[in-house]
Structure 1
Amino acid sequence: MPLKELAERRNILHRKSDAQTVLRHALSDVQIGKIAMVSSFGAESVVLLHMISQIDKATPVIFLDTEMLFPETLTYQKEVAASLGLTDVHVITPNRDAVLIEDVDGLLHQADTDACCNLRKTRPLAAALAGFDGWITGRKQFQGGKRADLPLFEKEGRKIKVNPLAKWSARDLQDYITQHNLPRHPLVAKGYPSVGCMPCTTRVSDHEDQRAGRWRNSEKTECGIHFETSVATKEGQAA
C-alpha cells in the first residue's frame, strides 16, 4: 500500500482514538513496519516516554545529543530513561569528521542556524533512522506554525511519522505529568517551556508563546528534521 494512502487510512481509523491507542497500534502495525521514537527529552517529552514505557520498555528511543544541549537536558535524559526503565535508548551525536570540517570552533550557529541544525540534527537523525520504517514524534498542533494542522499519521519520504499527541493541549500535557507524578525538566521552572540547544534557546515571559524562545528574533521555527524537503528525508529516500 502506498505510504500516503496508509497514513490517510490510519488517520481515519484513529480519528477518535486517544493517544495511548494511537501509540499502541503504531508500535504493532505490521504495515508501518519497524518504528522508533525520537525524543529530545525536553520540556514535555516525559509524557510520550511514559506512555512508551507502559506499552513496551524495549521500544527503540533515539535521543539526539547535538553537543550543544543544556547540561540539565543531558542529566534529565539519563534520569528519565532510568526511572521509566527504558531499555533501548540510542544516544546519537553528529559525525565527528563533519563537525571538525564544518564547525570546528562551535560557532556555526552564529553565522547560519540552518547549517548548524543540518550538521548537528538533520543528518545524524537521518543516519539513525535509516534502519526504521517509521518514527514517533511528540509534536502538537497547539505549537502553531507548520504544526497547526498536524495529523496523527503522515508520510515523509519513505517513512511514516506518527504524532500521538497532535491534538493535545498544553493543559492536557501538564495534567498528565501531574497525574502520573512524572519528573519535570529542571529548566521549565526557570522560564524555558520549550528546550532546545543552549545557544538558540532563551527564556520566555508569561505573555509569550511557549516556543518564542527558540531561535528568537528570527523567522526560523523548525530545525529541518520535520520538513519533507529536509536532508533527513532525502537521505532516508536514498537508504
Structure 2
Amino acid sequence: MSEHRERTGPGLGPLAIPDHTDDELAELNREFERLPASKVIQWAVDTFAPHLSMTASFTDAVLIDLAVKVDPGIEVVFIDTGYHFPETLETVEDVRRRYGLNLRMMTVARQEEALWAADPENCCSAVKVGQLDRALAGKAAWMSGLRRAEAGTRETAPIVVRDLRGLVKINPLATWSDLDVQGYIDDHHIAVNPLTLQGYPSIGCMPCTSRVADGEDARAGRWRGQDKTECGLHVM
C-alpha cells in the first residue's frame, strides 16, 4: 500500500502525495502497457498535480496536445540552452500561443566561450541536466515524450519509473511507434518543428545535431561521430 507524504505548494497548503514503492511502480508499469497515453496522463495529473511538470523538446507537440486536454494548466518545461536552432525557438512560441501554455523557460546564462566548444563532454550535464534539476525542485513527478521506437538505447524504456532524483517519471508515449506519432499529427493537425521535414527527426542543440540519412536511426544525427547517445535527461 502506498504511503502518503505532504508537500506544500504556494498558496495551496499541505497536499498528500502518494509515495509509491518500487514494486508498486513496476505493477503500474505493467498495467499502463495496456492503456492509452491519455489514461496514463490522467493518472499522473490525478496523482501528482500540481507537483507535476512535463518537459518538451518541441520536435512536435503531440504530448503537449494530449496533456493539455487533461490539464490545460499543466506546467511545460523547455530548457533554452542558448544553442537551439531558430526553428525550434519559433516552434516553442507557436505552440505556446496555440495552447496558451503554462510554459516555464529554463534559460541558461551566457558563457564567455560556448560551452559545447570549450567542454563538449560536460556541456549537456552542465546545461540541460542542471536546468532540469532546477525546474523539478519541489516536484513529485514529471512527464516526457520519450519513446522506445526512437533508438535502440530506448527500446526498454518504462512507462513509469523512479528517476535518479527519487521522483516518479512518466513516459506516456513510450509504446508509440513512429506511425502512431505521425497518425496523431495528421489526425489532430499537430504543430511540428519544420526541421523534421528537412532531415532532422530528432532535434537537439544546433552544434550537436546533423541531418539523418535514409535508413539511419532517428537519433543518428545527435552527437554524430561521438560515443555519446543521450544528453542525461532520461538516465534512470
TM-score for the superposition, normalised by structure 1: 0.86
Matched, 1:77 2:84: no
**Alignment RMSD, CA only?**
1.6
Aligned with residue 203 of structure 1, among 207, 211, 216: 211
- Matched residue of 2:194: which SS? coil
| Deviation sequence 1:125-173 (CA, Å, 0-9, x none) | 1011112111001001112233110111011131000000000000100
The CA distance in 2 between the partners of 1:68 and 1:18, in whole Å, is 35
Q: 8 Å contact 2:44–2:170 — kept in the other structure?
A: yes
Aligned length, in residue pairs: 217
Matched, 1:13 2:31: yes
The CA distance in 1 between the partners of 2:133 and 2:195, in whole Å, is 28
Question: Counterparts of 1:1-239 in structure 2 under 5 Å?
Answer: 1=2, 2-30=20-48, 34-42=51-59, 44=60, 46-86=61-101, 88-94=102-108, 96=109, 100=111, 104-106=112-114, 108-156=115-163, 157-228=165-236
Q: 8 Å contact 1:47–1:176 — kept in the other structure?
A: yes
Q: 8 Å contact 1:193–1:204 — kept in the other structure?
A: yes
The aligned amino acid for 2:27 is R
Q: 8 Å contact 2:41–2:172 — kept in the other structure?
A: yes
% identical equivalent positions:
37
Higher-strand-fraction structure: 2
The CA distance in 1 between the partners of 2:50 and 2:67, in whole Å, is 17
The CA distance in 2 between the partners of 1:59 and 1:91, in whole Å, is 14
The CA distance in 2 between the partners of 1:148 and 1:66, in whole Å, is 27
The aligned amino acid for 2:105 is V
Q: Structure 1 segments of 4 or more deviating over 4 A?
A: none
In structure 2, what is the equivalent of residue 236 of structure 1? none
The CA distance in 2 between the partners of 1:134 and 1:176, in whole Å, is 25
Q: 8 Å contact 2:151–2:217 — kept in the other structure?
A: no
The CA distance in 1 between the partners of 2:214 and 2:147, in whole Å, is 20
Q: 8 Å contact 1:53–1:85 — kept in the other structure?
A: no
Stretches of structure 1 lacking an aligned partner (at least 5 in a row): 229-239
The CA distance in 2 between the partners of 1:105 and 1:70, in whole Å, is 18
- Matched residue of 2:213: which SS? coil
